[in-house]
Amino acid sequence: MQRQPIFFLGFGGVGRALLTQILDAREQHRKRNGLKLDVLGIADSAGALVSEKPLGDAALRKALQTKIDTGRLPGPAATRANMRTLIAALPRNAIVVDTSASSATVPALIQAKRRGCGVVLANKIPLAGDLAWWNAIADARARWETTCGSAMPVIATLNTLLDSGDTVHRIEGTLSGTLGYVASQLEAGVKFGDAVRDAKMRGYTEPDPRQDLGGLDVGRKALILARMLGYRLDMQDVKVESLYPKHMDKLSVDDFMRDVDSLNETMAARVAELTADGHKLRYAAVIENGKLKAGFVGADPVSKLGMSRTSDSVVIFHTRFFMDNPLTVSGRGAGQDVTASGVLGDVVSLSRVMGNKLA
């Protein structure tokens, strides 16, 4: 039986779903993979639960319940200083799993990589930040499948294309469920303000919808894919279309939600222009010839982008060998449970190359 030590950075929706899935999959991992995932620690923004020996399943279930009930982990506060100590104490074959949504984990990730550990990220920020971070993190002992389209095999597909010697000419994709929903509403004639309010009311947006409407998240995904293609680019190289003007950043969330109707006319004109001749409105990331953009496009209705369902995420690879019929990955591109399943797939896949000690 292979014992794979793991350490959690982040214990929010995805982190908790991941731990639940690990506990539920014990038998399957034993039978199918001959693997036991040993959780050595869990850190959130305020505290950490750590143990020299693997935490038992009862202690892990208690941690899940305590976090849900109190918002906190059992254990002492994890300061920046003792995070260094925690990482330094990990076995060199450990996997550090980042399901935070913060750049604050970058020092721990880099320290872990230097120590020889593997890393799995659902967190895009370390991979879409400084190129130095990318260089220190993104290698054969790292996995980041869920950073672009949740558990859909977008990263795996791109890696396979690159490994096979294919040439990727263009990648286009709809990589935000929220913006997909807003686009579908606008296309159906709903006013922008109403579409944004509706998306917020349904819980499709962040508490501050500007975090979705600004397009930064899609831009980060485009940058990660472009960096995998070998382009040494930064976020300032990504042309991101924000669906609201910059001066509205100063407003409170309530004021933004009240003033969002002021954008209705401009947005309606833009939608009319893009959807002329039956074109479909999509908020897409496009990577081609080292140029990256994220924004509204009018997609040909018989193209794979135009035919995709707005409730799905879709990523289309136009390559030397997939020219006439581009390779397409589509499906559910968001959700904490499905994302956690993708993270778990990464952990199991990485455990195979970590040179684990046998129990």
Nearer to ligand NAP, 175 or 274 (CB): 175
- Residue from 38, 44, 172, 212 binding ligand NAP (CB under 6 A): 44
Of the candidate spans 120-128, 248-256, 290-298, 306-314, the one that interacts with ligand NAP by CB under 6 A turns out to be 120-128
Nearer to ligand NAP, 41 or 298 (CB): 41
CB-based closest residue to ligand NAP: 12
Which residue bears the tokens 């035919």?
307
Least distance from ligand NAP to the Cβ atom of residue 291, Å: 25
Of the candidate spans 122-130, 135-143, 152-160, 237-245, the one that interacts with ligand NAP by CB under 6 A turns out to be 122-130
Q: Which residues contact 35 (CB under 8 A, 6 or more apart)?
A: 1, 2, 4, 29, 348, 351
| 104 touching ligand NAP, by CB under 6 A | yes
| 40 touching ligand NAP, by CB under 6 A | no
Least distance from ligand NAP to the Cβ atom of residue 101, Å: 4
| 123 touching ligand NAP, by CB under 6 A | yes
What residues does 288 pair with on adjacent strands? 170, 291
Ramachandran area for residue 224 (φ above 0: left; ψ -120 to 50: alpha; else beta) = alpha
DSSP state of 92: T
Nearer to ligand NAP, 102 or 266 (CB): 102
| Residues within window 293-352 making contact with ligand NAP, judged by CB under 6 A | 334-336, 339
Site string for ligand NAP, 213-242 (x = CB under 6 A): ------------------------------
Three-state DSSP at 230 gives coil
Q: Which residues contact 248 (CB under 8 A, 6 or more apart)?
A: 210, 256, 259
Distance CA 17, CA 20 (A): 5
| 102 touching ligand NAP, by CB under 6 A | yes
Nearer to ligand NAP, 43 or 161 (CB): 43
| 176 touching ligand NAP, by CB under 6 A | no
CB atoms within 10 A of CB 236: 7
Nearer to ligand NAP, 151 or 195 (CB): 151
In this structure, are residues 282 and 172 in contact, taking their beta carbons and an 8 Å threshold? no
| 66 touching ligand NAP, by CB under 6 A | no
Of the candidate spans 5-13, 183-191, 249-257, 316-324, the one that interacts with ligand NAP by CB under 6 A turns out to be 5-13
DSSP state of 33: I
CA dihedral 14, 17, 23, 25 (to 10 degrees): -90
Q: Which residues contact 53 (CB under 8 A, 6 or more apart)?
A: none
Distance CA 55, CA 61 (A): 10
CA distances from 143 to 62, 110, 121, 171 (A): 28, 14, 6, 20
- Residue from 26, 28, 46, 249 binding ligand NAP (CB under 6 A): 46
Nearer to ligand NAP, 153 or 335 (CB): 335
Count of residues interacting with ligand NAP (CB under 6 A): 26
Nearer to ligand NAP, 96 or 299 (CB): 96
- Residue from 5, 19, 95, 99 binding ligand NAP (CB under 6 A): 99
- Residue from 4, 93, 100, 275 binding ligand NAP (CB under 6 A): 100
- Residue from 5, 10, 214, 219 binding ligand NAP (CB under 6 A): 10
CB burial of residue 278 (10 Å; 0-12, 13-18, 19+)? exposed
Distance CA 76, CA 73 (A): 9
Nearer to ligand NAP, 103 or 303 (CB): 103
Distance CA 218, CA 238 (A): 10
| Residues in touch with ligand NAP (CB under 6 A) | 9-15, 43-46, 99-102, 104-105, 122-124, 146, 150, 334-336, 339
